């Protein structure tokens, strides 16, 4: 009888690790980016959520193509004009470019990751980016961040390729990315800040060898930007002035540590908790684990923006998305560093959490599931209640004299009425007090004698004497309350006005 023991058993042949070709990794990166985009488009097609006020405002801009608008550069309006021309003016068509452009951003990140490291890092960088919490929201609404992030990613890739000896096509790509990025959002200027910082940290030789290409890129970028600068000059530097006012420098009244901490905390919801902790660790371990050239580049184009925005939030104010551009480079950096230190579990756990959140949020947005969200986490409340408001206005206008105008005292209300009352033919005007225009509607659609004979004013604020006193007659006729979610509602005060007196 043969005796067997553990030690006498024949050894199993060693399993060779499967080598995945670089081309396969890149095909997967492109494929999954497009698949996620298609999923988001399906969600948009089935969503019953209204446009955000800013989205409705951008839609109204897109009806009048220009090289600039009161509070933003023009690319956002151009994108909406393109998608609505192709697919109509429903909410999903207004938002259509968002998932497509985010997919393109993920693909650009993948090519940047491959150029700096390898195709495996490229794939996981694209996957991580596509499922970031901030992207899961941003890819379902149309905002200026959508094209900005794409052009930032393209500039990131093009600059690296130029420094690595890439041909003149990359100079054209960089110039286009900088120019159209600036026309998307003026925050593109932060890219130049990161580039200067990287130049200080690296040898001069590559910069001298590629100086002509960078000069050509700068020239092309300037050519693209000039029409917007001309528009601003012709309109009293409206957009640039609004951007400076939005930063609110000089009005903060000291250092606000609580606001800075709140902004920093909000970044966990934009970049995700695990990637943000890994990024913070990478920055903290700079001296003990010297970064490679590629890591220095990625750090230069991520950390300064994040630090600057935290400082901005402490001095004055900053919205959570203002640091979004930092996470283009940071996504690649986090994946590459975890790969180098052979710690795969944080990335795996992060992707699992992000994919779960992506699925849940997409289903909620599509209306496939209807959880009752607590007030503190219901980020969709601003997408509810606008169509019911428009329906109330339509019913109320049936009692008004012929040729009456509909007016709003608030930019958000005006934007939503312009969008939701499209096609009904009522004159839509902005009721203003005295002082310079504060938004595009006050600039282009303010009340006049022609539109002010009879007016239905839908006001967010009661007893607006600065508006009411500009009419011969006014009376408060209705008060409407519209529920927008658990514990949330919006109140409107409805006035009949007649006999606009002007200034």
**pLDDT of 22-33, one tens digit each?**
899 999 999 999
Q: 83-139 pLDDT, tens per residue?
A: 999 999 999 999 999 999 999 999 999 999 999 999 999 999 999 999 999 999 999
Domain ranges of the chain: 22-366, 384-500
b/e per residue 276-304 (b: at least 16 CB within 10 A): bebbeebbeeeeeeebeebbbbbbbbbbb
Q: Could you tell me which residues come within 8 angstroms of residue 393 by beta carbon, excluding any fewer than 6 positions away? A: 406, 417, 421, 456, 458
Tokens of 443: 């600039």
Measured distance CA(137)–CA(365) in Å, rounded: 9
pLDDT at 2: 42
Strands 471-485, 405-408: pairing kind? unpaired
Partners of 497 in the β-ladder: 455, 474
* pLDDT at residue 1 is higher than 90: no
Nearest to 416 by CA among 72, 51, 81, 47: 51
Measured distance CA(67)–CA(78) in Å, rounded: 9
Nearest to 323 by CA among 76, 121, 148, 97: 148
Measured distance CA(244)–CA(150) in Å, rounded: 24
How far is the first Cα of the chain from the last one, in angstroms, to the nearest whole number?
112
Biggest alpha carbon–alpha carbon distance for the chain: 114
Nearest to 225 by CA among 241, 210, 240, 212: 240
pTM of structure: 0.92
Q: Is 450 exposed, middle or buried (0-12, 13-18, 19+ CB in 10 A)?
A: exposed
Mean pLDDT of 43-64: 96
pLDDT at 246: 61
Give start and end residues of each alpha helix (H) in 343-480: 345-366, 386-397, 411-420, 440-444, 465-468
* pLDDT at residue 7 is higher than 80: no
Q: 212-270 pLDDT, tens per residue?
A: 999 999 999 999 999 999 998 988 877 676 666 565 555 555 567 788 888 888 888 89
Element (H, E) at 488: strand 488-500
Contacts by 377-383, CB closer than 8 A, 24 or more apart: 378/485, 378/486, 378/488, 379/137, 380/49, 380/485, 381/484, 381/485, 381/488, 382/52, 382/53, 382/484, 383/49, 383/50, 383/51, 383/52
Partners of 479 in the β-ladder: 493
pLDDT at 497: 94
Measured distance CA(387)–CA(423) in Å, rounded: 14
Residue in the structure block whose two tokens are 């580049």: 297
Number of residues that this document lists for the chain: 503
């Amino acid at each position: 009888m043969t005796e067997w023991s553990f030690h006498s058993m024949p050894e199993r042949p060693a399993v060779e690790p499967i080598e995945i070709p670089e081309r396969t990794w890149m095909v997967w990166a492109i494929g999954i980016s497009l698949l996620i985009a298609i999923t988001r488009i399906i969600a948009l097609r089935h969503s019953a959520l209204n446009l955000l006020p800013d989205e409705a405002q951008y839609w109204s801009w897109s009806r009048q193509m220009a090289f600039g608008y009161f509070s933003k550069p023009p690319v956002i309006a151009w994108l909406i004009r393109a998608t609505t021309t192709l697919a109509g003016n429903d909410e999903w068509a207004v938002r259509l470019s968002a998932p497509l452009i985010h997919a393109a951003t993920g693909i650009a990140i993948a090519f940047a990751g491959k150029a700096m490291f390898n195709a495996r890092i490229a794939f996981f960088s694209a996957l991580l980016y596509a499922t970031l919490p901030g992207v899961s929201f941003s890819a379902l609404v149309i905002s200026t961040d959508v094209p900005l992030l794409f052009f930032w990613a393209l500039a990131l890739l093009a600059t690296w390729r130029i420094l690595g000896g890439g041909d003149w096509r990359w100079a054209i790509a960089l110039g286009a990315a900088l120019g159209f990025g600036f026309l998307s959002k003026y925050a593109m200027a932060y890219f130049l800040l990161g580039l200067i910082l990287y130049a200080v940290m690296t040898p001069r030789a590559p910069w001298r060898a590629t100086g002509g290409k960078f000069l050509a890129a700068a020239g092309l970028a300037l050519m693209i930007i000039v029409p917007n600068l001309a528009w601003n000059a012709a309109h009293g530097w409206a957009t640039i002035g609004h951007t400076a006012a939005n930063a609110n420098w000089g009005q903060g009244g000291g250092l606000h540590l609580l606001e800075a901490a709140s902004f920093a905390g909000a970044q966990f919801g934009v970049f995700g908790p695990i990637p943000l902790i890994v990024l913070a660790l990478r920055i903290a371990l700079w001296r003990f684990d010297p970064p490679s050239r590629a890591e220095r580049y990625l750090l230069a184009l991520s950390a300064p923006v994040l630090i600057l925005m935290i400082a901005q939030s402490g001095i004055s104010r900053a919205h959570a998305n203002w640091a979004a551009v930092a996470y283009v480079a940071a996504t690649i950096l986090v994946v590459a560093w975890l790969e180098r230190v052979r710690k795969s579990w944080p990335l795996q756990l992060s992707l699992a959490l992000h994919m779960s959140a992506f699925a849940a949020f997409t289903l909620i947005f599509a209306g496939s599931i209807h959880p009752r969200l607590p007030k503190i986490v219901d980020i969709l409340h601003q997408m509810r209640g606008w169509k019911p408001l428009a329906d109330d206005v339509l019913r109320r206008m049936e009692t008004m004299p012929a040729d009456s105008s509909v007016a709003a005292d608030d930019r958000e209300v005006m934007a939503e009425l312009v969008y939701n009352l499209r096609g009904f033919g009522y004159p839509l005007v902005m009721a203003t007090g005295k002082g310079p225009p504060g938004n595009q509607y006050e600039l282009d659609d303010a009340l006049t004698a022609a539109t002010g004979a009879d007016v239905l004013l839908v006001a967010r604020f009661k007893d607006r004497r600065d508006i009411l006193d500009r009419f011969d007659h006014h009376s408060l006729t209705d008060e409407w309350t519209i529920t927008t979610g658990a514990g949330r509602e919006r109140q409107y005060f409805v006035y009949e006005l007649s006999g606009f007196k002007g200034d």
